[in-house]
Every structure is written in C-alpha cells, then in structure tokens.
Amino acid sequence: MSLPHILLGLIAEPMSGYAIKQEFDTKLGHFWFAELSQLYPALKKLEADGLAESTAGPSSKGPPKKLYRRTDAGREELLRWLASEPGVLPIRHPYLAQVFFLGASKNPASTLAFFRELKQRLVATVQRLNAVEAGWASEDPRYPDELPEDEFYVQMTLTAGLAVHTAYCAWCDDCIARIQRRFSLA
Amino acid sequence: MSLPHILLGLIAEPMSGYAIKQEFDTKLGHFWFAELSQLYPALKKLEADGLAESTAGPSSKGPPKKLYRRTDAGREELLRWLASEPGVLPIRHPYLAQVFFLGASKNPASTLAFFRELKQRLVATVQRLNAVEAGWASEDPRYPDELPEDEFYVQMTLTAGLAVHTAYCAWCDDCIARIQRRFSLA
DNA sequence: GTTATCTATATAAGTATTTATATAGTAATA
DNA sequence: TATTACTATATAAATACTTATATAGATAAC
C-alpha cells in the first residue's frame, strides 16, 4: 500500500490535496496514478492517524485551501517505508494484457492499428519526459549529478521513465515490423 | 478494468480457478498479478453475466474442479476489449515511488542497499524470462515468427517483459554507480 | 452577461483488491 | 501415524480505487 507513503513523502512542506493531484499528474505521472477523490480521504486518514496535520491557508482563487504537512511520526513512517524492501507488486499493465490475447481477434489490420495507437502514446510520453529533462538541465547547471540530494533521486525516476518508455517504443516498432512481415501488410 | 477480460481470454478452453492462478504466476506474471481469492468471485460474476459457463470436472487430487469456459457472448466481450484503446492507466510502480523519496532517508548506504536488492530482483526476473524463452525456442522450431497466431502475440509480451526488465537492470546499475560516485561508497 | 475554465474541497455509491480464514482430499515425508 | 505440502474451492472483512456528483469563488472568453 504505497499511496499513504507517497503522500507523506510529498507533504514535507504544507500542500493542498489539489496541489498534490497536480504533482501526480506531472512529476509522478509516469509511475503513479491517483484520482483526486482518492487523495482527500487518504489525507484525512493520515491526519486521523497522527501522521499529518492540516492548517487552513488563503487561496487566491476559489475556496480556502487546506494545507497538509507531515508530523514527526509521519516522517518516521516514511523512513520505515523507504527502508523496507523495494515494492515490486502488484504489477498491472493493461495493454500488455491486451497484447497477450490479440491472437483471438483474427484481424491483423486492427491489431496493427492497436500497436500504432500504442506507439503514438508511448512516443508522446517519451517526448514529454524529454522536455522535462531538457528544461531541468537548462535551468540548473548542477543537473544531473550535482543536484541536491532529494532532486538527485527524483531525477533517477525521470531517467527510469525515459529508459523504460524508450524500450517500449523500440519493442512496439519491432512488433509492428513483425506483424507487417507476417501478414504482408503495410 | 482488465481482470474480467483477461479471464475471458484465458478460458477459451475449460479451466479451473486454481489453474488460472498458476497461469497468472507463470505466463502472465511479468505484467499482471491477481490473488486467487479475487479469481473465484470474478469467475462467478462472468457466469452470472452470461459471459462464461461452468462444468464440474474430476480432480486427481483434492476436491472436484470447477471448469469455466467462455460463452459466445464472452468471446464477443473479449473482442470488444481487444478492439478498444490500448490501456495505459492506471500505472503504479511501488519501487519507483520509493526511489522518488529516497533523498529523505539521508542514508546513502541504505539507499545503495535498496538499489542492490532491487537489482537482484530484476536480474532474477530477467533470468526467469530468459529461461522461458530458451525453453520455448528449443521446443518449437517455429519460434518466434512462425508460431501459431495466438502464441505469436503471447511471445510478444515475453519480449516486452525482457526488454523492459533489462532496461530497468541497466538503469539500476547506473543508479548504483552514480550513488557510489557521489557518496564515495563501494 | 452568460458560459466555460480553473481553483478548491468533499462525499456517496459502486467496484476492485487484499488479507485472513475455513474446508477437504491426496500424497509424500519424517 | 503425525506432519507437511500440494491441490482445490470458497467466503468474510477490510482496504483501495473509480465514477459520479455537489458546492463555490474567481477569472477569462464570447
């Protein structure tokens, strides 16, 4: 169960649920997904468990913010998680599950379309991550190995996202070529 | 929601819940995880929805098997899923989430241990997948491009697993080297 | 000036998943 | 013959997650 720990990691400084959602959709987006409606009760539970505390904050737009910050107990719980085993489960990759059964469709043309659509999405992700990296590198001359320690590890997850999505892109190209060859398609 | 569709994919021929769990732990293990206690109600629901039907089968050991097989309606639902968009969400990679916050630990030695432990697990997965591939290639001279169509796509998921886990291994090595350099650790 | 968009929090209902537990037969092991 | 291990199904309870919906202020577009 990683979500509460991820939240504890994020709220080193006071943050609103809404701001946290934006972090998920940008910085954490290539390895974690969460709905906003999932974050509010999760934050509330951290507070109930004494791992976080909240303060009201002013908002430039809209209703007042509720800012959460981790307590010392919350920081300890975070450290426990970081010192525990690397979490490898559960793995769930919907599109690979689809590929696994693609033979049932008996329709090479639509299968090819599936892979092309997938490739497009993967390329878009690689491009987005590349842009993030380029921006970061141009803003901070310490990039990547002289970055402050916390950013040093954040940067590693960016590298991981790039490496893996690039590998998936190459795999996708290979699948497309093999399907074209096998079924004489263009 | 992919699980019901994966089950529909698997039960082209009659299969018991227990046998399905073994498929998850072997063939599908590198891209999907499911608990046995999740499979039984999921199969029951497919039957209730008219997408599968069950028959009692004899068992060599233990209580009688309950064999599920998809109906025509189930096959149609499977095809609908295969023709839909490639599923890219939700993504959840627990160990990358841990890496993201590793800076909070302020303990390069334990961080290094984390990556070494992770590397070990990744290598074990790559070795397992390599062994599967080697066995398959030696058993069937049609491997990989002349395989029957359904196995052709199954093989692609194996290729994906190998490509991605190999990329993660290289990334892990890189992270280890960077941490060693930065903190003068061996 | 009305609509759309963005900020911001929240809850209800439904679905999915995990953990714990129960049952029971067979076979090998100690 | 007692224990362990494997096959096999199943459910209850708890937790996690998704989808739909509600509220409301501020700003920008039309």
Residue B41's pLDDT is what?
95
Decide: CB of B141 under 7 A of nucleic strand C.
Answer: no
Q: Within 10 Å of residue A132's Cβ, how many Cβ atoms?
A: 16
Report the DSSP beta bridge partners of residue A67.
A55
pLDDT band at residue A62 using 50, 70 and 90 as cut-offs: low
CB A31 within 8 A of CB A25: no
Whether the CB of A19 is less than 7 Å away from nucleic strand C comes out as yes
Q: Which of B163, B168, B174 sits opposite A171 (nearest CB)?
A: B163
Burial class (CB in 10 A: 0-12, 13-18, 19+), A101: buried
Burial of A74 (C-beta count, 10 Å sphere; 0-12/13-18/19+):
buried
Give φ, ψ of B119 to 5 degrees.
Answer: -55, -45
pLDDT computed for residue B62 by the predictor: 66
**CB-CB neighbours of B154 under 10 Å:** 19
Which nucleotide is closest to B89, CA to C1'? D18
Fold of B3-83: Arc Repressor Mutant, subunit A (1.10.10)
| Helix axis angle, B72-83 to A108-139, nearest 10° | 40
Q: Is A44 helix (H, G, I), strand (E, B) or coil?
A: helix
DSSP string spanning A118-133? HHHHHHHHHHHHHHHH
A22-52 residue pLDDT tens: 999 999 999 999 999 999 999 999 999 999 9
Question: Residue A64 carries which DSSP code?
Answer: P
Half-sphere exposure of A145 (CA within 13 A, CB side): 10
| Bridging pattern class, strands B52-57 and B65-70 | antiparallel
User: Which of A91, A121, A160 is closest, CB to CB, to B31?
Assistant: A91
Measured CA to C1', what is the nucleotide nearest B33?
A: C17
Q: Which residue has the tokens 């943050």?
A: A15
Q: Which residues of A touch B87 (CB under 8 A)?
A: 94-95, 97-98
- A100/B154 touch (CB, cutoff 8 Å), yes or no: yes
Chain C footprint bases within 7 A of protein beta carbons: 6-12, 15-21, 23-27
Grouping H, G, I as helix, E, B as strand and the rest as coil, residue A15 is strand
User: Taking phi first (over 0 means left), then psi (-120 to 50 degrees means alpha), and beta for anything else, what does residue A116 get?
Assistant: alpha
Looking at residue B56, what is its pLDDT?
A: 86
Q: What is the pLDDT of residue A84?
A: 94
Q: Give average pLDDT by consecutive 10-residue segment, chain B, 186 residues.
A: 95 94 93 95 95 85 85 96 92 96 95 97 94 94 96 97 97 98 94
Residue A55's H or E segment, with its range, is strand A52-57
Partners of B159 on chain A (C-beta within 8 Å) are 171, 174-175
pLDDT in tens, A145-177: 999 999 999 999 999 999 999 999 999 999 999
**What distances in angstroms separate CA B70 from CA A55, B8, B10, B20, B73, one per listed residue?**
54, 6, 9, 13, 8
pLDDT score of B113: 96
Residue nearest to nucleotide C11 (CA to C1'): A37
Cβ contact (<8 Å) for A97 and B87? yes
Q: Rounded to whole angstroms, what are the CA distances from B174 to A164, B132, B139, B146, B179? A: 14, 27, 36, 37, 9
- In chain B, where are the structural domains located? 3-83, 94-183
- The C1' atom of C17 and the CA atom of A36 lie apart, in whole Å, by 20
Give residue A74's pLDDT band: very low, low, confident or very high (50, 70, 90): very high
Query: Among residues B123, B109, B114, which one has the least CA distance to residue B96?
Result: B114
pLDDT digits (tens, 9 = 90+) for A75-94: 999 999 999 999 988 899 99
Residues 6+ apart with CB under 8 A from B182: A145, A152, B108
Q: Which of B93, B149, B171 has its CB closest to that of A159?
A: B171
Helix axes A108-139, A149-183, angle to 10 degrees: 160
Other Cβ atoms closer than 10 A to B54: 18
Q: In terms of residues, how long is chain B?
A: 186
Cα distance between residue B120 and residue B176, in whole Å: 12
